[in-house]
Homo-oligomer: A and B are copies of this chain.
């Protein structure tokens, strides 16, 4: 049993965070929250989304898992105006999700959850550095890196408590240097890792530029990015595996 009403903006922010990594996903309809965990086909990027019942106008669920085609669901949510409410009702018998927006009723065929990639375990990692910054700064660093390379280096200069977003191209280099004054907070620690830029670009697409993004970073370790949606009632965690630094 699942029945919920949610603002179009909240549903779209939630779906966007997952759809940048995968086309299909399992949605867990827990009593206290809706949650999604997914990993991209290459096992490089993971996402963990939790949307609390309080993020909905109304929410009723008694457990269970559904499988959905994300781009299709996003397209339907895209029919709603920014202020519209979206009504979601699961028909247990037909295994279809009814989506109602004003007078518009859309009946979405679900996907057998067993046919969808298994949900990943997102490991607890003890990462030495913790940086909190605005999405707009992360966005700037990623765009700059993209001019010269398809890899991006995230690094903390412990002495200066400065977060660096860097890239080395064949001829040109880029370094966005973010001192404490440009950060919301920083706990400096040994942190220097290289990542595939494509994945970070995809994750960045979903992160609102005005979001507070928490970056957990280590030495040649995965990076974790956390941000919130729906006024804090939705939380998203990305984890991205590192590339081996060749130099």
User: Which A residues are within 8 Å of any B CB, using their own CB?
Assistant: 72, 75-76, 79, 103-109, 140-141, 143-144, 147, 171-179, 182
Contact = CB atoms under 8 A, between A and B. Distances in A.
B103 A182 contact: yes
Contacts of A178: 103
B79 A172 contact: no
Contact of A75 (B72, B75, B79, B147): B147
A76 to B, nearest CB: 7
A104 B172 contact: no
Given A103-B177, A103-B182, A182-B103, A108 B144 contact: no
A105 B174 contact: yes
Contacts of A174: 104-107
Contacts of A147: 72, 75-76, 79, 106
A172 B107 contact: yes
A147 B106 CA distance: 10
Given A75-B147, A104-B175, 8 more contacts: A72-B172, A79-B143, A79-B144, A103-B179, A103-B182, A104-B140, A104-B144, A106-B144
B176 A107 contact: no
Nearest to A81: B140
B103 A172 contact: no
A106 B105 CA distance: 50
A107 B173 contact: yes
B103 A171 contact: no
Given A103-B177, A103-B178, A171 B109 contact: yes
A99 to B, nearest CB: 10
Contacts of A171: 109
A190 to B, nearest CB: 22
Nearest to A176: B104
Contacts of A182: 103
